[in-house]
Structure 1
Amino acid sequence: MVTKNNQFHHISMPLLFCLAFLAFQVTSRTLQLQDASMHERHEQWMARYGKVYKNSQEKEKRFRIFKDNVNYIETFNNAANKPYKLGVNQFADLTNEEFRAPRNGFKSHMSSSITRTTPFKYENVSAVPTTVDWRQKGAVTPIKDQGSCGCCWAFSAVAATEGIHGISTGKLISLSEQELVDCDTKGMDHGCEGGYMDDAFEFIIQNHGLNTEASYPYKGVDGKCNAKEEAIHAATITGYEDVPTNNEKALQKAVANQPVSVAIDASGSGFQFYKSGVFTGSCGTELDHGVTAVGYGASEDGTKYWLVKNSWGTEWGEEGYIRMQRDVNSDEGLCGIAMLASYPTV
């Protein structure tokens, strides 16, 4: 005799299998559509940034990385209650390790050997403006792109030199990073393999200046020093000073008076895909990237920030800039921005 319970069991099991199969088909179809959509996005992204891969295997590898990065970016933007957003930029087909290696050329493991100077001419500055933007005062050249050469140190030092030259003479000139890459090789600076802003300032002083970007253009690779062009000086500095370490108030005094070279920890995925807003981390203090603080201010919600010029082109960040949280609860500053700051003098 078949009971009602047994009848229900015989009916429900096939039904459950059927429903499970349908659910699997729906899920599988959804994933296929999502993958197709992601492939289309990857093709569009490739077209926008002129990406061409050497073979189908490399393309598939890059697609998988692109897909992971897009999912990371969208998950962050949808879930995180942060004052900044991430975006799909030119680095979207690179793992974080691949991204860092050729671009962050400040060698943190050797920074302890850098001799810090003691004078700080802005020590007794008692009042500073609430907001500063040296772009509006003719002291910042357009955003540049270091490409896959780890010479951020040269771009940082050049930007600070361009700044003080523009302030002191009223003439803003784009100076040559390539001259530093090719010619500043006797100390701890090693072109695309990394270097230090203070050593770059030392070279500029001893060389009596730098040539222009136009005369000694950027190539993005280590090259032989062009002695003829090196001997032409469009701008020079007479010295440099270090900002007292781990002191954001001192850094503010300096930035209130001129663009300042700073070293930061730019190793995280959040920095790789930063798009807009005030960046609040996460990041550490393993300094690996040289940039330039060209101002400071506060956002509409009152979050204080440093205005930082980067050298990764205008597609990254806020047209090449990042606003980094200022006056954080840390002596080193966010991402170590107050640890090794310096500026040239004239």
Structure 2
Amino acid sequence: MRFLQVFFLMAIVLLAWVMTVDATNISAHERDELTRDLRRWQKKFGNDDHVRAAMTLVRGTLTTDDLLRRLKASKDKLPMLRAANPHATFSHLTKFALLTDKELARFTSSPRVRSRASMPYDGSGSAATDTIDWVASKCVYSVQSMGACFSVWAITAIQAVASANCIATNALLYISLQEVVSCANMGGPDGCHGGDAIAALKWLIMQQTALCNDVDIPYTAGSSAYAPTCSDNSKCAGAISFAVSDVVEKSGEALLEKHVRVQPVLAMVSASIDTWFLYTGGILSSCPQT
């Protein structure tokens, strides 16, 4: 069975040291609204491991006025985003709302997600005549938090393999995320510093007779922010096998529609724009290439 995997890489952004938001005047009424919004943001994201880690890197103290101006800058972008994407929803109350454009740009240029050469793009396609919701099936994991470890590349690889295998066998396997983070980099850096999802897919297929489930090797890197050296997994030998074979890399809307009718498809997109940083759901109509 051949399958396509393209994938979403989303991550938390690190705050930079220099604030670049314009000192926009805020009326008393708007200040009250923004203050309430800021409280909501702090309640929702104040205990987030990544947000707290990012905030500790900021030199100096951001005043309440600084935070309100940052929040206003994000809120002011919403009308344009909504007009360009009427079938999507956006909010200034995301994890990224208090970051400046320069800070976002600095984060998205981070080397932690390994880049790959661009594939030829086929922009042809047609309007879909039906719908399918793979999330409603039993072959898709629930959303998994990577915690303090940048393991999104490993989560992506596991999801792609497990979903494809489930469709073929009617059984959803719960592969150890910790094992993949610790072992799939094959001599590379600590898996919590990033990795290559496609290489991890190939590694999973090659190692399928020596993989452990998430009960045998539970995920600990999410709290420790460290992926220990790959350990002996002989106790799991033969415990997991896949009804999948090749990893196929392709691009284009027509191919995307073709494959999503067969199995869940994980899509990789450029997240260095407000469209994604303030996105909360729905279907995008306009997605700039930069």
Larger % of strand: which?
1
Match of 1:86 in 2: 90
Match of 1:130 in 2: 130
Counterpart code for 1:47: K
SS at match of 1:276: strand
Shift of 1:143: 1.0
Compared CA separation, residues 255 and 37, structure 1 to 2 (3 A): closer
Q: Is the 8 A contact 2:184 2:200 kept in 1?
A: yes
Shift of 1:242: 1.0
TM-score normalised by the chain length of structure 1: 0.57
Shift of 1:164: 1.9
Compared CA separation, residues 257 and 105, structure 1 to 2 (3 A): farther
| RCO higher in structure (CA 8 A, sep ≥6) | 2
Q: Is the 8 A contact 1:146 1:152 kept in 2?
A: yes
Residue 256 in structure 1 maps to residue 261 in structure 2: yes
Consecutive unaligned residues of structure 2, counting only runs of 5 or more, are 1-24, 121-127
Shift of 1:281: 2.9
Match of 2:11 in 1: none
CA distance in 2, matches of 1:213, 1:59: 43
| RMSD, aligned CA | 3.6
Match of 2:21 in 1: none
Consecutive unaligned residues of structure 1, counting only runs of 5 or more, are 1-27, 117-127, 286-346
| Deviation per residue, 1:107-138 (Å, 9 max, x gap) | 33xx1299x9xxxxxxxxxxx98333222331
Shift of 1:226: 4.9
State how 1:45-60 maps to structure 2 within 5 Å. 45-51=41-47, 57-58=61-62, 60=64
Q: Is the 8 A contact 1:62 1:94 kept in 2?
A: no
State how 1:1-346 maps to structure 2 within 5 Å. 31-51=27-47, 57-58=61-62, 60=64, 61-73=66-78, 76-77=81-82, 79-80=83-84, 82-87=86-91, 88-96=93-101, 98-99=103-104, 101=107, 106-108=113-115, 111-112=116-117, 130-147=130-147, 149-186=149-186, 191-208=191-208, 210-214=211-215, 215-217=217-219, 219-220=221-222, 221-228=225-232, 232=236, 235-237=240-242, 239-243=245-249, 245-284=250-289
Compared CA separation, residues 173 and 255, structure 1 to 2 (3 A): same
Q: Is the 8 A contact 2:85 2:285 kept in 1?
A: no
Compared CA separation, residues 150 and 223, structure 1 to 2 (3 A): closer
CA distance in 1, matches of 2:158, 2:63: 37
Identity %: 22
Compared CA separation, residues 180 and 59, structure 1 to 2 (3 A): farther
Shift of 1:71: 2.5
Q: Is the 8 A contact 1:198 1:240 kept in 2?
A: no
Counterpart code for 1:131: T
Counterpart code for 1:273: L
CA distance in 1, matches of 2:154, 2:90: 27
Q: Is the 8 A contact 1:188 1:196 kept in 2?
A: no
Q: Is the 8 A contact 1:204 1:236 kept in 2?
A: no
TM-score normalised by the chain length of structure 2: 0.67
CA distance in 2, matches of 1:134, 1:82: 24
